[in-house]
Structure 1
């Protein structure tokens, strides 16, 4: 297929992940090891989408430091067109996480102050306006300020371009609140859905109605090992992810889900098929020690999708 042109605006920074080697001992020193790589929700998705054959352009703030060079090198390696806003006297944002031996997150710290400088005014620059005009779809994340997220969504919506969001965290997803009616879709986990709706449904099948009530027309809610829920104007789909014997690292799994789902939608596939492909992309991600699996490409995604159960459409 000929890939779509996707403009990605949002987080592109450095991830530092410490992995505990044994059983986690809270409040104590834990033997482990550190791993450093480029990350950020938008950037992870950008690299995945590029590996799936799409023409991806990235616009994100960056500092004039060694961490900025790590991000630039990762963009080049993934084939992403990298056009940052560079602040030579600032530090590139970073995300530091502690991961348990089984791959689950213990705690993380995000130093994201530089993203505040990505104001709505920057969308008026000629190069950015041209990037919007040339793109087939827009993807952003909640690393950016709420007013910038809203401006991105409104600009894309006014131009008739589909615009999707990645929630990032329960603390940040609320930055999408005013932009929800303009979004084509939002990718989040269940904790982020709770933060956005202030609801804790007993039955996860209530998520579509709760999210529609606050203005969303389409969304995907992942639930870890439990069934994911997706909805759009055509209906609701659910899919239980396959069980894994071994887990590499959950970092980047949600971004991979967003990438696989969005790629399928841009190919014109229906909701259930898109959810299945998103689950396959996430499966590839969690089996990799990296946030973005280097082996990801269209043929592999097709093969893994064939191993994922069909999504169920709910009445």
Structure 2
């Protein structure tokens, strides 16, 4: 069977993460170590999907610097067809984060100015139009400008191709607002869902109704170590991930969940099964010190999925 082809348009940059050794001391110098790797929500998901056997093509802006070379090398290592827009006189975007000893995020700074140059006009290029036509599914993230996200959604709808989105952050999720009705699924955390709906429900089971009113037909809301919520036209599901005694790094967990979920959906699986597979992929990610776990592959995903409880279907 030929693997599904996925076109990914969005963030592909360099992550710099500082890991604090011991207890965090706010407002003071903290001993720790730096780690540098390729990252970006769309790119993390693209590499996960490639590891799961899909044919993945990446279109993303990049500078003509050493950081751009890091991204290019990571794409090649993952087996991704890398077709970037390269701006030789610009700096490749970067994300710099400080991580506590327990793996949780303290603070992060995103230098993403180059993504502004990925304008809707870029989608009119023959190579991009051909890539959309050949793909079985599309994926984008909110690193791109709002007008570009909307244009991608319009192009996907016109081509009859499902488009999924990754919210990235509370500050960026609103870039999806005009595209919400065109999305096959939007992946976000609870903070991002609050911004999108302007609501703060007491019961997480309320998220499906709130997000449907916002215009979404399907979405997944993650809640850290608490139960994730997913819904589509068939219903809604809730699943609490197994507790882990040790976290490697939470960076990339949401992107991994999106990858596992999308993979299941492309394989024709139900909402509940897709949520289980997404949670399994996230568990593999958080046990790894990398944003994209090098050990991820279909057999491991199946073994970890067997440890994930069944999703609770919601009324």
- After superposition, the C-alpha distances for 1:160-205 in whole angstroms (9 at most, x for unaligned) are 1000000000000000001101111100000000011110000000
| CA distance, structure 2, for counterparts of residue 132 and residue 32 of structure 1 | 44
**273-282 or 2-11, which moves further after superposition?**
2-11
What RMSD in Å do the two structures reach over aligned CA positions? Answer: 0.5
Instruction: Please give the alpha-carbon distance, in whole angstroms, between the structure 1 residues aligned to 2:245 and 2:108.
Output: 25
- Matched with 1:19 is 19
2:28 equivalent to 1:28: yes
Q: TM-score, normalised by structure 2?
A: 0.99
Q: In the aligned structure 2, how far is the partner of 1:165 from the partner of 1:44?
A: 13
- In the TM superposition, what is the alpha-carbon distance from 1:312 to its structure 2 partner? 1.1
- 1:28-107 map, 5 Å: 28-107=28-107
Query: Which consecutive residues of structure 2, in runs of 5 or more, have no partner in the other structure?
Result: none
Matches within 5 A, 1:291-310: 291-310=291-310
The answer for the alignment partner of 2:245 in structure 1 is: 245
Partner in structure 2 of residue 258 of structure 1: 258
Residue 189 (1) aligns with residue 194 (2): no
Q: CA deviation at 1:159?
A: 1.0
Q: What CA distance in whole angstroms lies between the structure 1 residues aligned with 2:298 and 2:279?
A: 14
8 Å CA contact 1:246, 1:287 repeated in 2: yes
Cα deviation, residue 270, structure 1: 0.4
Corresponding residue of 1:132: 132
SS at match of 1:17: strand
CA contact (8 A) 1:9 1:59 kept: yes
Match of 2:117 in 1: 117
Deviations 1:96-134 (A, max 9, x none): 000000000000000000000000000000000000000
Deviates more, 1:153-162 or 1:85-94: 153-162
Shift, 1:314, TM fit: 1.1
Q: Distance in 1 between matches of 2:181 and 2:158?
A: 12
For residues 147-296 of structure 1, the aligned pairs below 5 Å read 147-296=147-296
Q: Does the 8 A contact of 1:2 with 1:53 survive in 2?
A: no
Secondary structure of the structure 2 residue equivalent to 1:199: coil
SS of 1:260's partner is helix
Matched positions, count: 315
2:2 and 2:43 map into 1 onto residues whose CA distance is 21
Structure 1 residues without counterparts, runs of 5 or longer? none
Moved over 3 A (4+): none
Deviation for aligned residue 1:22: 1.0
- Matched-pair contact (CA < 8 Å) for 1:280–1:304: yes
SS in 2 for 1:98: strand
Compute the TM-score of the two structures, normalised by the length of structure 1: 0.99
What displacement does 1:2 show?
3.7
- Partner-residue secondary structure (3-state), 2:215: coil
